């Protein structure tokens, strides 16, 4: 399988998990220490915590998940662009 597609799919899936995690915080009575919510928290919280320390809440609303998703998407676009260019250059080199 194409490594660029693997990275693109991983970033899309992880962005979706982060979004689901954020949406679930608006639902009362969800216990994030029980399954399957604990697994979701274990997977997404380390990444979200990077941004929670940098961006203070605005009017009581935590904007760090939005910034985290944007950063993940920008990183994904950068990596996909760089890898696509690298693979294209390598292919051209191998062909001729």
Q: How many degrees, rounded to 5, is the angle at CA 67 between CA 72 and CA 77? A: 25
Q: Please count the other Cβ atoms lying within 10 Å of the Cβ belonging to residue 35.
A: 8
Q: How far is the first Cα of the chain from the last one, in angstroms, to the nearest whole number?
A: 24
Q: Note the pLDDT of residue 96.
A: 59
Q: How many degrees, rounded to 5, is the angle at CA 91 between CA 85 and CA 94? A: 140
Phi and psi at 25, nearest 5°, equal -70, -20
The count of domains in the chain is 1
Q: Is 61 helix (H, G, I), strand (E, B) or coil?
A: strand
Each residue of 19-53: pLDDT tens digit? 999 898 888 888 888 888 899 999 999 999 999 88
| Domain, as residue range, for 82 | 3-95
């Amino acid at each position: 399988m194409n490594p660029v597609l693997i990275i693109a799919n991983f970033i899309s899936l992880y962005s979706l998990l982060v979004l689901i995690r954020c949406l679930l915080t608006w639902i009362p009575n969800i216990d994030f220490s029980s399954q399957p919510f604990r697994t979701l928290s274990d997977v997404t919280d380390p990444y979200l915590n990077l941004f929670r320390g940098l961006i203070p809440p605005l009017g009581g609303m935590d904007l760090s998940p939005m910034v985290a998703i944007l950063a993940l998407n920008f990183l994904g676009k950068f990596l996909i662009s760089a890898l696509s260019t690298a693979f294209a250059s390598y292919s051209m080199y191998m062909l001729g």
